[in-house]
Amino acid sequence: MHTPRSHVTRRVVSTMTLVTCFLLVSIPAFSSSISERFDVSPGGLLVLEAEGAKIEILPGSSREVTLDLERRGSSTKPIEDDYDLQFSQDGDVVTLIIERKRGSSWLNWSWKERGVEATVRVPVRFDARVKSSGGSVQLQELQGDVDIRSSGGSIGVGEVDGQMDLESSGGSIRIAAVTGDAQIQSSGGSITIERAGAAVDASTSGGSIKVEEISGPLRASTSGGSVRANLTETPGSDSELRTSGGSIEVRLASHVAVDIDARASGGSVSDRIGVDATTKSKGRLVGTVGGGGPRMVLRSSGGSVRLVSE
């Protein structure tokens, strides 16, 4: 006796349906680690917005952007339990959004659940625009413009061949090197720049400012610490250093030429470079260095001002 063909077909379809359902159930839809890859060309843009994430941006392949997202701590809960993830691409613009779900309160998290860590690799020649709350941001090296906003952690930047705009309301900022103009602002920590090749505008209300080497004009102000700067070249325009909570020290290379206007209302002005002074007293010094040049204004209301040679 032969089985009707239609019955055989139904049995095969039923079997395939069961296999398909099994495969869908067996493949995990969520994970405690996630990886994504995007094909791009050099000169593109990374847009990254994250909450409760430690961010690290590294140089990678010249033709792709990659994301590795992992939970921090020992929790094995799926990342999607606590985060809404949106990843998209428009040409060479890659957008990564990592948002903590509403109702996923930090107060309800155990010691095992310390947020996530996002490691992003981009071509060396790439721009980056980052907005972070609840975690630190580290960027290693980039040939492009960098814009970073952090409201919950520190910012650390390696060598950047381009312009820079950094702002932190919850931590310190440290920069290894920047070739373009830099805008740096912190309301919760100190600012340190190892090497700057153009104009720098730095301000903080919660710490000191230190610029170890700069060849362009500098504007630096703090209400909570000292200001230190080392000028290796004559700046192209005027500079101004102010503090209401500490001292100022400026080191000048022997060939730097500037006009000095220094005042210390809470201490003294010390000249160790031989300023050709027109006005000189304990807390005031006006004159020229190297024959004069762009104006350098130094103001301290909470400490001394020192001028020393490099």
DSSP class of residue 196 equals B
DSSP three-state, residue 249: strand
DSSP class of residue 282 equals T
User: What's the rounded mean pLDDT across residues 18-29?
Assistant: 33
The answer to whether 172 and 205 are in contact (CB under 8 A) is no
Residues 212-244: tens digit of each pLDDT = 999 999 999 998 899 999 999 999 999 999 999
Q: What pLDDT score was predicted for residue 23?
A: 31
Residues 90-143: tens digit of each pLDDT = 999 999 999 988 765 544 444 344 689 999 999 999 999 999 998 899 999 999
Which residues have a Cβ under 8 Å from the Cβ of 18 and sit 6 or more positions away? none
The rounded distance, in Å, linking the Cα atoms of 233 and 220 is 17
Q: Which of 115, 118, 122 is nearest to 131 (CA)?
A: 118
Q: CA–CA distance from 236 to each of 128, 210, 294 (Å)? A: 28, 20, 7
Q: Is the pLDDT of residue 59 over 80?
A: yes
- pTM of the full structure: 0.85
Structural element, H or E, at residue 24: helix 5-26
Phi, psi of 242 (to 5 degrees): -135, 145
User: What's the rounded mean pLDDT across residues 39-67?
Assistant: 96
The answer to whether 39 and 63 are in contact (CB under 8 A) is yes
Place of tokens 């060396």: 124
The rounded distance, in Å, linking the Cα atoms of 156 and 172 is 8
